């Protein structure tokens, strides 16, 4: 009988990276209860994944904490960059400390795609490497083709010289993407930051076979801390008219600058649209004086919302979003059209898909909230029934993909043959 070797899983501990990876590993662990899965991430990240919903966690997944270094009080970006700088050693040391330097009896290594060095670790151990990308395929393609893009568009790393609207038509599948949509650090936005260097190395290390197994929002369990409603958002929504409310959230990492938040608030106020806003406490002071009092009878703000449940509520008619991949997928699965205000990373490509390719939303003109533009976009979404129909059609494709005969299910089964075979 073949020995039951453990699978090692290495998560990237920031943003919304660890939870989608955990959810896929959870599916493997349920399918193969006799195998073990060691889940490596920082203590903070492991706490958020494993901390609150132990009843949903198969006993064959064990968390292991990777050193998260010094404690940071400054900008979250500094913490991420500092972690990236020393992450290779941190993961390798932790894996060795758990399994011993000489013990290479591992079945396979599964890692967040950001952790490019795991490919070399897997080579040295002679085991398969499964690299997990939780975002969309177009941004992944942009990272994969970074060197080709830099060679084909010979510009400095900080300047795209008015060429933002030129199409990326020399890369198959990206002809709808414009130069200005590229993730930061691929062509512009600096090539030397820790993040840009990591993404470049990631693009070079990517394996060639790609198995789409999303959308994860349809295949994942809901971890209780993201699903709970401690502020009563859903009770408030229950009191609103069908398809009348704007839901606003810019995800876990970004917020538009203060002048734009103020302009968005002014647009919401003038439009008369009821709204529910995932707004961190420290940002409330950036809203115009008296704004929340004046809109009291039609607003609800909370520092955290159960977003998936909010989007599915029939009162919600539009999502004002930064276009994080999870947010876009959740909005599609709930049938809600979007107003896009992308901030960084893959969000500009995601926005291009939503507005120009799929036609299920609109973008804020010039990428900057003004009072007038906010009102115009709200008016457009609430009056265009066609957008809602198109989102519904996309949702249908996604549901089919994760159904018994769908492509996502088939791809997952192919992957499970590598990971779960006992």
Query: Residues with catalytic annotation?
Result: 17, 112
Q: Does residue 81 touch ligand UDP according to CB under 6 A?
A: no
Rg of the chain (C-alpha set): 22
- Burial category of 396 from C-beta neighbours within 10 Å (exposed 0-12, middle 13-18, buried 19 and up): exposed
Return the range that interacts with ligand UDP (CB under 6 A); candidates 90-98, 139-147, 298-306, 395-403. Answer: 298-306
Question: Under the criterion CB under 6 A, does residue 253 sit at the interface with ligand UDP?
Answer: yes
324 binds ligand UDP per the rule CB under 6 A: yes
Task: Give the up-direction half-sphere exposure of residue 402: CA atoms within 13 A in the CB hemisphere.
Answer: 14
Contacts 24+ apart (CB under 8 A), 98-101: 98/38, 98/64, 99/6, 99/8, 99/38
The piece of 100-108, 112-120, 257-265, 302-310 that touches ligand UDP (CB under 6 A) is 302-310
Using CB under 6 A as the binding rule, whether residue 220 contacts ligand UDP is answered as no
The least CB distance from residue 415 to ligand UDP, in Å, is 22
Segment near ligand UDP (CB under 6 A), from 152-160, 194-202, 301-309, 412-420? 301-309
Name the segment binding ligand UDP (CB under 6 A); options: 53-61, 202-210, 322-330, 367-375: 322-330
The residue among 105, 19, 30, 96 whose CA lies nearest residue 64 is: 96
Give the integer Cα–Cα distance in Å for 320 and 354. 12
Does residue 326 touch ligand UDP according to CB under 6 A?
Answer: yes
Q: Element (H or E) spanning 261, and its range?
A: helix 258-271
Touching ligand UDP, residues 345-364 (CB under 6 A)? none
Site string for ligand UDP, 231-250 (x = CB under 6 A): ------------------x-
Contact 355, 340 (CB under 8 A): yes
307 touches ligand UDP by CB under 6 A: yes
Q: According to the binding rule CB under 6 A, does residue 278 interact with ligand UDP?
A: yes
Which pairs count as long-range contacts for 254-261, CB under 8 Å and 24+ apart, including other chains? 254/322, 254/343, 254/344, 254/347, 255/280, 255/283, 255/343, 256/322, 256/341, 256/343, 256/369, 258/286, 260/341, 260/368, 260/369, 261/286, 261/287, 261/369
Could you tell me if 349 and 138 are in contact, meaning their C-beta atoms sit under 8 angstroms apart? yes
Dig out the tokens for 261 from the structure: 């938040």
194 binds ligand UDP (CB under 6 A): no
Residue 251 within binding range of ligand UDP, rule CB under 6 A: yes
Whole-angstrom Cα distance, residue 255 to residue 101? 43
- Per CB under 6 A, does 45 bind ligand UDP? no
State in angstroms the smallest separation of the CB of 6 from ligand UDP.
29
Q: Tell the smallest beta-carbon distance from residue 214 to ligand UDP (Å).
A: 12
255 binds ligand UDP (CB under 6 A): no
Task: Kindly tell me which residue out of 31, 43, 252, 409 binds ligand UDP, with binding defined by CB under 6 A.
Answer: 252
3-state SS, residue 408: helix
Instruction: Select the span of 163-171, 240-248, 325-333, 356-364 touching ligand UDP (CB under 6 A).
Output: 325-333
Instruction: Select 253 or 292, whichever has its Cβ closest to ligand UDP.
Output: 253
- When asked if residue 205 is in the footprint of ligand UDP (CB under 6 A), the reply is no
Is there a contact between 335 and 361 (Cβ–Cβ < 8 Å)?
no
- Least separation in angstroms between residue 12's CB and ligand UDP is 11
Distance, in Å, from the CA atom of 213 to the CA atom of 128, rounded to the nearest integer, reads 18
Residue whose Cβ sits closest to ligand UDP: 324
Q: Which is nearer to ligand UDP, 141 or 326 (CB)?
A: 326
- Residue of 37, 216, 236, 325 interacting with ligand UDP (CB under 6 A): 325
Give the H or E element holding residue 130.
strand 129-132
**For residue 185, what are its two tokens?**
């650090």
Through-space distance between the first and last CA atoms of the chain, rounded to whole angstroms: 9
Which residues of the chain form contacts with ligand UDP (CB under 6 A)?
15-16, 226, 249, 251-254, 278, 304-308, 324-327, 330
């Amino acid at each position: 009988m073949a020995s039951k070797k453990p699978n090692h899983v290495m998560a990237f501990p920031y943003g919304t990276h660890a939870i989608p990876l955990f959810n896929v590993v959870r599916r493997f662990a349920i399918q193969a209860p006799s195998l073990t899965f060691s889940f490596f991430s920082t203590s903070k990240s492991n706490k958020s994944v494993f901390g609150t919903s132990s009843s949903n966690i198969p006993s064959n997944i064990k968390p292991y904490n990777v050193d998260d270094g010094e404690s940071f009080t400054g900008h979250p970006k500094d913490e991420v960059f500092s972690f990236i700088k020393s992450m290779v050693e941190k993961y390798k040391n932790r894996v060795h400390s758990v399994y011993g330097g000489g013990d290479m009896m591992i079945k396979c290594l599964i890692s967040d795609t950001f952790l490019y060095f795991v490919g070399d670790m897997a080579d040295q151990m002679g085991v398969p490497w499964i690299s997990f990308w939780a975002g969309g395929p177009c941004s992944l393609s942009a990272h994969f083709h970074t060197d080709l893009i830099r060679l084909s568009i010979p510009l400095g790393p900080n300047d795209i010289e008015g060429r933002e609207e030129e199409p990326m038509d020399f890369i198959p599948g990206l002809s709808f993407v414009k130069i200005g949509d590229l993730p930061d650090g691929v062509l512009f936005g600096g090539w030397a930051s820790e993040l840009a260097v990591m993404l470049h190395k990631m693009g070079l290390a990517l394996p060639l076979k790609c198995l789409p197994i999303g959308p994860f929002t349809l295949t994942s369990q809901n971890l209780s801390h993201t699903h709970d409603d401690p502020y009563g958002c859903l009770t408030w929504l229950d009191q609103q008219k069908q398809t009348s409310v704007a839901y606003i959230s810019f995800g876990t990492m970004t917020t538009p600058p203060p002048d734009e938040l103020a302009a968005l608030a002014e647009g919401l106020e003038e439009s008369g649209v009821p709204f529910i806003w995932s707004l961190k406490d420290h940002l409330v002071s950036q809203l115009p004086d008296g704004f929340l009092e004046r809109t009291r009878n039609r607003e609800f703000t909370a520092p955290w919302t159960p977003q998936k449940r909010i989007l599915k509520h029939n009162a919600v008619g539009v999502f004002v979003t930064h276009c994080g991949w999870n947010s876009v997928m959740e909005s599609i699965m709930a049938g809600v059209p979007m107003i896009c205000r992308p901030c960084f990373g893959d969000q500009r490509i995601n926005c291009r898909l939503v507005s120009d390719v799929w036609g299920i939303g609109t973008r804020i003109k010039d990428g900057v909230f003004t009072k007038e533009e906010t009102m115009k976009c709200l008016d457009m979404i609430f009056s265009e029934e066609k957008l809602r129909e198109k989102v519904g059609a996309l949702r249908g494709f996604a549901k089919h993909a994760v159904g018994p005969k769908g492509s996502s299910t088939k791809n997952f089964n192919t992957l499970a043959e590598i990971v779960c075979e006992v």
